[in-house]
Amino acid sequence: VNKRKILVPLGDKSYEVTLEAGILNNVSEELLKIGITKNRKILVISNEEISNLYGEKFLNNLKDNKFQAKMFLIKAGESYKNLKTLSQIYDVAFEFGLDRNSIIIALGGGIVGDVSGFAAATWLRGIEYIQIPTTLLSMVDSSVGG
């Protein structure tokens, strides 16, 4: 498997961007490699189209490896990038028991990434956030400066 890591050098806020075909097949392994422990709750946010392609396999990989994970689907389209969608994410986060040690993962394109990122930044004054972009534009947006 051809894997590539690119460092985005931002001092103490530096991070790596990982490029790899088939990375969704071993997402649990990748999370463990970056220090995400299994005792942390993970809320995966996606949309129906992406969930139909990858959602079940992605969530099952997390659960099979003993991660506490839940998936929440938002509607596709710019018009759903709003406070109502954010409020729905907050409701799910509360019901699932997301705490300051929890993580939100965005699995999708730009709208999923934008709304999920804002939710992660504002839930309990900010929790960890991981983007798994699925469109070329969202890959560019989320990799540098997103």
End-to-end CA distance of the chain: 27
Query: For residue range 24-52, what is the model confidence (pLDDT) as tens digits?
Result: 888 888 888 888 988 899 999 999 999 99
Cβ neighbours for 7, distance < 8 A, ≥ 6 positions apart:
14, 15, 16
| Among 65, 114, 61, 60, CA closest to 85 | 114
Q: Is the pTM of this model over 0.75?
A: yes
CATH of the domain at 78: 3.40.50.1970
- Asked if the structure places residue 1 within a domain, the reply is no
Q: Domain total for the chain? A: 1
Domain, as residue range, for 38: 26-143
- Asked if the structure places residue 12 within a domain, the reply is no
Query: For residue range 98-115, what is the model confidence (pLDDT) as tens digits?
Result: 999 999 999 998 899 999
Phi and psi angles of residue 74, each rounded to the nearest 5 degrees, phi first: -105, 165
